[in-house]
Structures are given as structure tokens and as C-alpha cells.
Amino acid sequence: MLAFSIFATEGGLFDINATLPLMAIQVVALTYLLNSLFFKPVGNVVEKRERYVSSNLKEAKNKLVEVEKLEADLLSQLQSARTEALKIVNEAEKDSDKLYQEAVELANNEANASKEKSRLEIESQTSSARKQLSDQADEISELIVNKLIQSK
């Protein structure tokens, strides 16, 4: 049976009656019901999780900043330690250089002194030898002179 009565006295597509306010009341009641059954509990859980995630993220970011600071600190410490070590090495090199120089100088001085000493000794021996030689030459010449005189 097709009953296509749009504006019939009984029924019809646009039959507006007490269904309207009752349905409105039902929807309002449903709003309160869904609010307490669905929107509030789910919202609490979701927002709690969102807060948890964002606070953790913030904490992690803070920690990352701290780590970066520590890393920079350590790097600067390493740098200063390196320069200090370099300084110490340089100083030690200089020290050892100085010691070497001193030792060399001392040895040179010693050598020079002993050289001088032997030179003086040689000189004195030479002069004494010379003197002896000249004495002998004098003697010989005297002898020769005497012989010449005798032979005359």
C-alpha cells in the first residue's frame, strides 16, 4: 500500500506534534548523559596523557640543554688541559735545553782550562829546553873558542 499523504489530516511527512519537544528533552538528557559517561572521563584521560607527554618533553628538553652545557664545559676543560700540557712540555723542553747548554758550557770550560794548562806546561818545558839548549850551545862555543885558542 503506498500512502503518500504529505499534508494529510492524520499523519503525513510534516506531521509535527509532541514528538518534537519530547525528542528535544531526550537529546538534552543525552547530552548530560554523554557528558558524564563519555566526554568527561575520556577527556580526563586524554588530557592527563597530553600533560604527561608535554611535561616529559619539557623535562627531556631541559636535560638536553643541561647535557649540552656539560659537554661545552668538558670541552673547554679539555682545551685548557691541553694548553697546560703543551705549556708544561714546552717548559720541560726549555729546561732540558738549558741543562744541555750548561753541561756543554761546563765541558767546554773544562776542556779550555786543561788545554790552557797543558799549553802553559808545554811552553815552560819549551822555554826550559831552549834555555838548556842555549846553555849547551854556549858551552860548546866556549869549547870551540878554547880549542881554537889552544891550536894557535
Rounded to an integer, what distance in angstroms lies between the CA atom of residue 78 and that of residue 86?
12
Interaction between residue 1 and other proteins (CB under 8 A) = yes
Cell 503525513 locates to 12
Cβ closest to other proteins, residue 28 vs residue 64:
28
Measured from the CB of residue 17, what is the shortest distance to other proteins in angstroms? Answer: 5
Cβ neighbours of residue 66 closer than 8 Å, sequence gap 6 or more: none
- All three cell numbers of 113: 782550562
Judged by CB under 8 A, the chain residues 17 through 56 that form the site for other proteins are 17-24, 26-28, 30-31, 33-35, 37-39, 41-43, 45-46, 48-49, 52
Q: SS3 for 15? A: coil
Whether 76 contacts 70, CB under 8 Å = no
Among 9, 14, 148, 150, binds other proteins (CB under 8 A): 14
Residues near other proteins (CB under 8 A) are 1-6, 8, 11-24, 26-28, 30-31, 33-35, 37-39, 41-43, 45-46, 48-49, 52
